[in-house]
Amino acid sequence: MAKQKTKFVCQDCGYESTKWMGKCPGCHNWNTLVEEMQAAPAAKRRGFVTSDGPRNVKPQPITKIERHEEARSSTHINELNRVLGGGIVPGSLVLVGGDPGIGKSTLLLQVSAMLSTNKKRVLYISGEESVRQTKLRADRLGIEEDELFVLAETDVAIIERVIDEVEPALVIIDSIQTVHLEDVTSAPGSVSQVRECTSAFMRVAKTKGIAIFLVGHVTKQGAIAGPRILEHMVDTVLYFEGDQHHTYRILRAVKNRFGSTNEIGIFEMKEGGLAEVLNPSEIFLEERSAGAAGSAVVASMEGTRTVLVEIQSLISPTSFGNPRRMATGIDHNRISLIMAVLEKRVGLMLQNQDAYIKVAGGVRLDEPSIDLSIAVAIASSFRDVPTEAGDVIIGEVGLTGEVRRVSRIEQRVMEAAKLGFTRVVVPSKCLDGWKAPSNIKVVGVSTVSEALEVTLGGKKSGTPSFEL
């Protein structure tokens, strides 16, 4: 009997080695290589083949290929439709990730019920719960649909056979780390199993035109567990963000072959499941304190949606040798950059000050247009001078202290006017080519110093000040 060969596979990046190593050469993480059996030869030949061998396909000129719009199925949940790009595309493979208890299974069960109500057959496959446990959750959500089928199974071969029998329009796999293929000798959840199982479901989705949702576990760092190739194989990657101890959840698209990326959907966790939040700006600003120093409002673009959020800053003298810089919802390096600009170009003495910056509401902001509002919030807290309650501050800050142009300024100003704000501070380069609404004043600024003069100038306090 031939000796069975083994290999060592990194559980984070999929790097393979013939011997064990403490540090993975691929991702440089420690203690991630696990011994696995070599895959059987039959498992390596899995692919889009027929009984007569590989299909006889020929390339064709791109000009000869017929173009047609993908027919989407509405989930009847507007926030989810927005994130998906308009609805579910038949034959698509969608990966949904998020922390435990964040609401992934709840949302997908609600989607299943919505589609079942509209006479579309749905197959919900759970590898972590029994059918009775799934039934209990469905009862809590008030779901009773004859077209919603539930199966507790982890064998991919059996799942494929059930899909052929049921012929659903949507299949949900909860979760991809629990299912396995008999041909692959490694344990469920390993790199080999996750890769081969995802490949099998991708083959089912593309050949049968069935939309498949995969639930993925996440690591301590918040990334989906398993190799990065998992995200490359699927058509859409959705991340559930938010704290499970708070009611609001953010569903963000980080990859979408059928729509725009970085779209977000806002949900509120209630007793009857997840309810969509149609106007998130009012939610993020409803608890804003009037007249508090260190607060500034910015209009941020999340995909095609404008969201107004509050940026809070607390600047206090340090008690340590090195001042602390802490940020929540914003990149830590961006805070250091903006504070350096305020020190060098404006004259704020922040070298002996601790800085704590937070985006209220739990949302995470990454776009450059939030730079100016961060700078104003820091200066407001340092001087202990509040900003005007009706101000919205938009702009990117350069290293020389200039305020740079941002995109979609008209859409941002319209959203601010709709919510009752009276003034918007924008880069002066953005004033041309459009007309502002009559109920809001638009002020253009060219430098950070000018922006601070407009928003905070002329107001006195007992704390150390700066000269403009």
Q: Running DSSP on this structure, what letter comes out for residue 297?
A: E
Which residues, 6 or more positions from 38, have their beta carbon under 8 angstroms from its beta carbon? Answer: 4, 5, 6, 7, 185
For 202, list phi and psi in degrees, rounded to 5: -65, -40
Nearest to 324 by CA among 369, 357, 300: 357
Distance CA(93)–CA(63), nearest Å, equals 27
Question: Which tokens sit at 177?
Answer: 């780390």
CB 54: neighbour CB atoms within 10 A?
10
Q: Which CA distances in Å does 212 have to 107, 116, 172, 234, 283?
A: 15, 15, 6, 10, 32
Distance CA(422)–CA(439), nearest Å, equals 7
Residues annotated in the binding site for ATP, as ranges?
Answer: 98-105
Q: Running DSSP on this structure, what letter comes out for residue 64?
A: G
Question: Which tokens sit at 414?
Answer: 């319209």
Region class of 431: left (phi > 0), else alpha (psi between -120 and 50), else beta: alpha
Nearest to 177 by CA among 207, 202, 198: 198
String of DSSP letters for 394-442: --EE-TTSBEE--S-HHHHHHHHHHTT--EEEEEGGGSTTS---TTSEE
The Cβ-side half-sphere exposure at 165, using a 13 Å CA radius, reads 8
Pair type for strands 391-393 and 423-427: parallel
Question: Which tokens sit at 168?
Answer: 């659903």
Distance CA(421)–CA(415), nearest Å, equals 9
Residues annotated in the binding site, as ranges?
Answer: 98-105
